[in-house]
Amino acid sequence: MTMREPALAQQLLIEVVNGANFSQVASSTGLGRSAVVQQVKSLARSLQTVVGVINVDEGAEPTLTLLQREGAHYLEALGHFRPELALTAQPQFPVATSAQIRALVAYADRASSEPIRDRALLLLLFATGARPDEIASLRIRDYMLPRGTIRQQSVLRAEAASNGRERPLYFVHARTNAAIDAYLDQRLKLEGSPRNADATPMYRGLNPDSALFVNQEGRPLQQGRCYGADSIQGIYRHMFRGAGLNHFSPMGARRTLARHLYRHGLDEQTISNYFGFSSLWTVRNLLRGYTRPLEQTLQVFP
C-alpha cells in the first residue's frame, strides 16, 4: 500500500463490508478486480494485526465471507487505524511500556467506578494476552479449582476462544492473581453469597459456572461491538483513553506480551501455540519490527 492508497483502500473496504462483492466494487470504481482484492485484503490484514478486529484472529484470511460477516467490527477497527503504522518501512506498532502499564493501573485505581475489578481486568489483559471477549467469557471454574486454589495451568475453552480453538491459559502472575483474588473477595461480600460451615467452601463460596467478571448488577460483562459502561470493550477503551493512551487497544497488549515472551527466550512456535495461532505468520506479525537486542543474543553463544 503506497502513501496515496489509504483513502482508496478504505473506500473499497467499506463497499465490500456493506455487501458488494469484489467484482461489483471493481466495476463501480473502474479498477481491476485483482487490484480491488489486493487493496481490500491488505487493509483488512493491517486492521487485524495493527488494531485488532473483534471476533477475527490476527492471522485469519480476510475472505469476502469473513469481511461481510464481521463488517461492523472491521469498520470499528478502521475508525482507530493509523495508516502510517502500516506504511513505514519499519513500523513502530503500539506496545506498552512498564511505566504505561503502571499508569493504566493507577488510572483504574483513581478514576474507575469499579477500581478493584478494573485493576484485575487490566492486569489480566497484559498477563495472558487474551482478547477482551475471551476474558469476558471466563468462568470462576476457569480460574480456580474446587477447593478454591488458583488453577495456575488452566485452558481457554474452545467456546470462549475467539478462533474456536482451545489453548493454554496460565494464571501464574502473582500481581494479577492478587488483583483477581481481591476482586472476588469484594464480589463475595457484595453478593452476600452464603458460605458453607466448612472452613474451605467449594470455589470459595462462588458459583463455579458464573462469569469471572461481572457488572454492578452481577451480570456478565457485555461482549462484541458495544462500548457502554458494562461492556468489556468499553471498559478497556475508557481506561486507555483516561490514561492518555488514545491510540492503544487490546491488540497492543497482545503484542506487548508476545514481545516480552520473545525477549525472554521463547521461540516463535511456542508463542504461536500459546496464543492459539494456526500459523507462524501470525506471531511474526505480532513481533514485526522487533528483534532481540544484540547483547542478549551474544549472551547465549556458544
Per-residue pLDDT reduced to its tens digit, 13-65? 999 999 999 999 999 999 999 999 999 998 998 888 777 787 787 777 899 99
Gap between the Cα atoms of 143 and 135, Å rounded: 11
pLDDT of 175 > 50? The answer is yes
- In CATH, the number for domain 98-242 is 1.10.443.10
Band (264; pLDDT cuts 50, 70, 90):
confident
Enumerate the domain spans of the chain: 6-87, 98-242
The overall pTM is greater than 0.85: no
What pLDDT, on a 0 to 100 scale, did the predictor assign at position 296?
52
Q: Which one is predicted more confidently, 236 or 293?
A: 236
How confident is the model at residue 300, as a pLDDT? 45
Residues sharing a CB contact under 8 Å with residue 65, sequence separation 6 or more, in sequence order: none
213 pLDDT tier (thresholds 50, 70, 90): very high
pLDDT at position 282: 81
- The confidence score (pLDDT) of residue 76 equals 83
| pLDDT (0 to 100) of residue 17 | 93
